[in-house]
A and B are shown apart, each in its own frame.
Chain A
Amino acid sequence: MKSARCLLHLQCLRLLDRSARSAAQCAPLLQSSSSSQPSVLHKNQHQLLRQFHSSPAWSKSQPTPADDHKKDKSLVTNDDLFEQVAKDVKVKATFNKVVDVFLNRDVRRRGHVEFIYAALKKMPEFGVERDLTVYNKLLDVFPKEVFVPRNAVQRMFNHYPRQQECGVQLLEQMEEYGVMPNVETKVLLVQIFGKKAHPVRKYQRMMYWMPKFKHVNPFPVPVQLPEDPVDVARFGLARIANDLDAKVNVYQLPCTDITETGEEITIPHVVGIQSPSQMELLAKHNPNRPVFVEGPFPLWLRQTCVHYYVLRADPPEEKVEEPYDPERSLYYPLQLDVDFGRDLGDEENFDVEDLDEGPVFAMCMTGRGDQATLNQWISGLQENNPMLGQVPTLFRVNAGPQELSASADAESGQAHRPDTKTRSGEKLQRDGEPGVIVEEEPQRRQGRNQ
């Protein structure tokens, strides 16, 4: 009975919320769920509402519709508070101001749990999601010593569960963003919840694991990626290359020119990387077999996605190994029959450049993935790899990334799209260079390449 009431109560709330505007829409829904006439329902509803009003028990724990409305509003105000106070600039100072406003508004700090939840949600917006002091300040919103259990029974049961849960949630968010709590956090938590409360336990666990994992990643990506796309490309390429000797070359710096006719021409950046061993591989490449420029392939650096292109070749033809002739060497065996099974602790090093699916000779990142730009890269590479002059180069570039990034940065995506269309339509053939052949990449290849 109670649950049925609750259900009805909720439905009423929904109805109130949406008002008459959506009543027509709601009607069939209600019909199907309760199979009663809407008018009857309305009548019931009024009755029920009255009932709620009269029940003091309910009004205490469950907000009455009127209260609820107000509370709901106040919940919104918590969000609104942030919107109001920090209308134009969303930075740490304004965030702190919001917290201060909340603290000064009410001595009892009514609704602090809701406020903290709202604040946690807003943190990334204000760019303070990795700021320890802000978290501590938020923790400070909790009233002190109120929630500390005072006797064994309280200690045994979950004392002030909502508040504890909120505290844990806050710590969890810190954990998620990799913010390690400090002593101040601990002091606050102990003050608020007592020594053995769930949030303090959570804190202890964090302090056990987080220092262990703090530097565990040998290839950390900085929190703040460089702004300059060239620097991002440099970083991304070095990250893929896994070779300290690999050299990053900037073949073209991005710049914007305005031609005489007033047209704006942007020159995209072209940044490439090549290691000495890749150069060696390329030098050994059979000039009769083409090399391919392929891409773009995505590389995620935290929230940023960049795309790179590779210069590669097909795997060399199967090396026909001569069967071992035991009657070859008169004096010593040319082969040993000691094949041990694999074992734990075996070295499993492999070459990252000379792969079974074909060697990778170089990689690049560019602002614009069209062939002309990539050609800049290839001709730049040619300076150090004279071999490239003799090898036919095929461009197997597909339009994938633009579509992918279209949602991310719509303006640049639009700028690229016509470009790709012309490419696919006309099948661009570089006239200047005989060695360069364009191969149109069938769309289905994408899956295989990426």
Chain B
Amino acid sequence: MLLRKVTQSPALCGSILRIPPVLSGGQRQARAVVNSRLYASEATQAVLEKPVAVGSHATAKVEKQAVSIESKSFAVNIFKGQIATSQVFPYPSVLNEEQEQFLRELVGPVCKFFEEVNDPAKNDALEKVEDHTMEGLKEMGAFGLQVPSDLGGLGLTNTQYGRLVEIVGSHDLGVGITLGAHQSIGFKGILLFGNPAQKEKYLPKLATGEHIAAFCLTEPASGSDAASIKTTAVQSPCGKYFTLNGSKIWISNGGLAEIFTVFAKTPVKDPNTGELKDKISAFIVERSFGGVTHGPPEKKMGIKASNTAEVYFDNVRVPADCLLAEVGGGFKVAMNILNNGRFGMAAALSGTMKGVITKAVDHAANRTQFGNKIHNYGAIQEKMARMAMLQYVTESMAYMISGNMDSGATEFQIEAAMSKIFASEAAWNVTDECIQVMGGMGFMKDSGVERVMRDLRIFRIFEGTNDILRLFVALNGFQNAGNQLKSLQKALKNPLGNAGLLTGEMTKRAKRMAGLSTGLTLQGAVHPELAHSGELTVKAVEQFGIVVEELLVKHGKKIIDEQFVLKRIADCAIDIYAMVVVLSRASRSLSQGQATAQHEKMLCETWCMETHERVMRDIKTLRSSDSARLFKNLRTISAAMVENGGLVTPHPLGF
């Protein structure tokens, strides 16, 4: 069946290409974007100059700006019950020919290197990346992928970076972490916030891998709570240096690094009140400053090849030149580094999934039981199909976000967080199912999947646990929806002056009440063959917008304390984004007439069907009065366990 469709596809695609003029127009648009594309160093800069409406440091002023300027982000808009297609349709193709060529030249050798030189099992057993591998990586320039070429790096765009990281992820996540801790977060601060002098001083050596970098934020008492950072940096009376004291834990590359991006509290005088207040500042700290020591490598569950250690700073004299951004500006630095690095994880994990799926498929195709290859059995088929869908979604997400970033989008933070959540969980599920397909074989060390599983586990935890990022996704969305509601409320005060807006809102609500479509549509954006999936997505967005508004009106400001609700809202939002991402990618494939277009269409349709169901179910739960009881029960059970110091129920045997 599938085969037949694929063979038909060229003819089909040809006709399709002629049919929709809208899509070809979109295609042209994409090309225009490519032409006005920014080069790597510029791209990173552009990314930085976004309005800081991200997360917690969204100040009132910035928010007002955000209200006046319509957001282009798809994820932001679904919380308002709207669809903004500009960032998602058509699927971004941001590489120009030169860049594509360059990337093509890179992919081959990198693949070859990881297949032939790097030995993930050995790295895992040794609990370090082998020296010759390190040397090889350095030679290839893998330590300076996004460093501008004039400073000795490869000067890759985010998309190019994603593609290479994908290869790393598919082979060895331990190496991936070593590289990621170095360039995705380790010296990203210098790249984003460093002044020219700092860049020139540090980046060349970092790009060649001569110096390894590390990102020092986490402390024993401070995970996501920046206020509890204990490390201090006190400015000397002369103002020429800071004295840094404190300790950081679980620092990737902590034992190898020469350059550290350290976050510490500095007393800052409030310009308004004149009060001294501790604020976070970011510093570049060289090991050679003296006073920097590290603990032994930590014993971990996975990513053993990467070095993780405690780092201690004992009266380290940091010259004032090594301050990143301004004094007290560390929070912004940290936020931006983290937000900018997240898409890379999705890219790496899509590679990981690709790797394990290959193994699973290989096994399923060759293993015979009861005289049949096991891939003939429905149980295995379902697993394989789901694995393929998850990988397809993750991959689509990763490159859509990197594409958005490269084309100068300033609002990708919610999407990036979504991709991190989705990718880490999808990879976990895929690997888990891969082991299941492989049976006992998967459980054995030799198959190499067991290591992947261990390595993967951390991705749901670090750089903001998925649970916390879900709060970020949901709350950011609610904030935007709230701003919209507020402006509506303001408009109501002057109904005559805002007649247009108000009648629009009224008809929208009236239509909702009558159960009609409110005029949202993906028609024209989605390929006609995927119209049904598009409709499902639109329905989901509509319902989602309604439930968000209801919840906001119901809870108001206190929605922030309703984490049961927030979690479900975030799940819905991620699912909807995933739907639209695959729709976009499958539409592109269909309209370009790619050989795999029909297969992609099937992936997309299946995904949309299932996800639509799931979103609707979640929304129903949120709207029903039962959910309140459910949440209360969950809360009570948890409280009882805490009170009991463990499970409450007695043993069924009574002892």
**Which residues of A pack against B, CB within 8 Å?**
325-341
Contacts and interface: CB of A to CB of B under 8 A. Distances in A.
Given A329-B55, A330-B334, A337 B468 contact: no
B479 interface: yes
Contacts of B60: 337
20 contacts: A326-B59, A327-B56, A327-B227, A327-B279, A328-B226, A330-B56, A330-B334, A331-B224, A332-B55, A332-B468, A332-B475, A335-B557, A335-B560, A336-B482, A336-B559, A337-B60, A337-B482, A337-B483, A338-B557, A341-B489
Contact of A333 (B227, B475, B552): B475
Given A328-B226, A330-B334, A333-B479, A340 B56 contact: no
A341 B226 CA distance: 32
A358 B637 CA distance: 31
A333 B556 contact: no
A338 B226 contact: no
B6 interface: no
A338 B56 contact: no
Given A328-B227, A330-B335, A332-B55, A340 B464 contact: no
A325 B279 CA distance: 10
A327 B471 contact: no
Find the residue from A326, A335, A337, A339 having the highest chain B CB count within 10 A. Answer: A337
B56 A336 contact: no
A435 B491 CA distance: 60
Given A327-B331, A337-B63, A332 B486 contact: no
Contacts of A329: 55-56, 224-226
B456 to A, nearest CB: 20
Interface pairs A-B: 8 shortest CB-CB: A338-B482, A332-B472, A327-B331, A331-B464, A332-B471, A333-B56, A331-B468, A328-B227
A327 B57 contact: yes
B478 A326 contact: no
A338 to B, nearest CB: 3
B387 to A, nearest CB: 29
Nearest to A334: B56
A340 B489 contact: yes
B338 interface: yes
Given A327-B279, A330-B226, A336 B478 contact: yes
Find the residue from A332, A333, A336, A337 having the highest chain B CB count within 10 A. Answer: A332
A55 B559 CA distance: 89
Nearest to A345: B553
A334 B280 CA distance: 17
B485 interface: yes
A195 to B, nearest CB: 48
Contacts of A334: 56, 560
B57 A331 contact: no
Given A330-B226, A332-B469, A332-B475, A340 B485 contact: yes
A333 B556 CA distance: 15
B208 interface: no
B409 interface: no
A333 B63 CA distance: 13
Contacts of B552: 338
A116 B284 CA distance: 103
A329 B560 CA distance: 13
Contacts of B217: 330
A280 to B, nearest CB: 13
Contacts of A339: 486, 556-557
Contacts of A328: 56, 225-227
Contacts of B471: 331-332
Interface string B454-482: 00000000001000110110011011001
A341 B472 CA distance: 25
Given A337-B63, A338-B486, A330 B224 contact: yes
A336 B57 CA distance: 11
Contacts of B476: 332-333
Contacts of A325: 227
Interface in B42-87: 55-60, 63
Contacts of B478: 336, 338
A335 B479 CA distance: 9
Nearest to A327: B331
A323 to B, nearest CB: 10
A337 B57 CA distance: 12
Nearest to A324: B56
A332 B56 contact: yes
Nearest to A325: B227
Given A336-B560, A338-B479, A338-B557, A330 B464 contact: yes
Nearest to B217: A330
Contacts of A333: 55-56, 58, 472, 475-476, 479, 560
Contacts of B486: 338-340
A327 B468 contact: no
A59 B334 CA distance: 108
Nearest to B331: A327
Interface in B470-513: 471-472, 475-476, 478-479, 482-483, 485-486, 489
B577 to A, nearest CB: 17
Find the residue from B56, B59, B335 having the highest chain A CB count within 10 A. Answer: B56
A326 B227 CA distance: 10
B155 to A, nearest CB: 29
Interface string B299-343: 000000000000000000000000000000001001100100000
Given A330-B338, A333-B56, 19 more contacts: A325-B227, A326-B57, A327-B331, A330-B226, A330-B335, A331-B55, A331-B224, A331-B472, A332-B469, A333-B58, A333-B475, A333-B476, A335-B557, A335-B560, A336-B479, A336-B557, A337-B58, A337-B479, A340-B553
Nearest to B485: A340
Nearest to A338: B482
Contacts of A335: 557, 560
A203 to B, nearest CB: 44
A327 B225 CA distance: 9
A50 to B, nearest CB: 81
A333 B279 CA distance: 17
Nearest to B482: A338
Given A330-B338, A331-B472, A340 B55 contact: no
B580 to A, nearest CB: 23
B351 to A, nearest CB: 25
Contacts of A326: 56-59
A328 B265 CA distance: 12
Contacts of B331: 327, 330
B556 A340 contact: yes
B574 to A, nearest CB: 15
Contacts of B489: 340-341
A317 B467 CA distance: 35
Find the residue from A330, A336, A339, A340 having the highest chain B CB count within 10 A. Answer: A330
Find the residue from A334, A336, A339, A341 having the highest chain B CB count within 10 A. Answer: A336
A349 to B, nearest CB: 13
Contacts of B469: 331-332
Interface in B220-263: 224-227
A177 to B, nearest CB: 42
A379 B225 CA distance: 47
Find the residue from A326, A333, A334, A339 having the highest chain B CB count within 10 A. Answer: A333
A327 B228 CA distance: 11
A330 B58 CA distance: 12
A336 B557 CA distance: 6
Interface string B618-632: 000000000000000
A262 to B, nearest CB: 58
A333 B59 CA distance: 11
Interface in B273-305: 279-280
A189 B520 CA distance: 67
Contacts of A332: 55-56, 224, 468-469, 471-472, 475-476
Contacts of B279: 327
Nearest to A347: B554
Interface string B109-141: 000000000000000000000000000000000
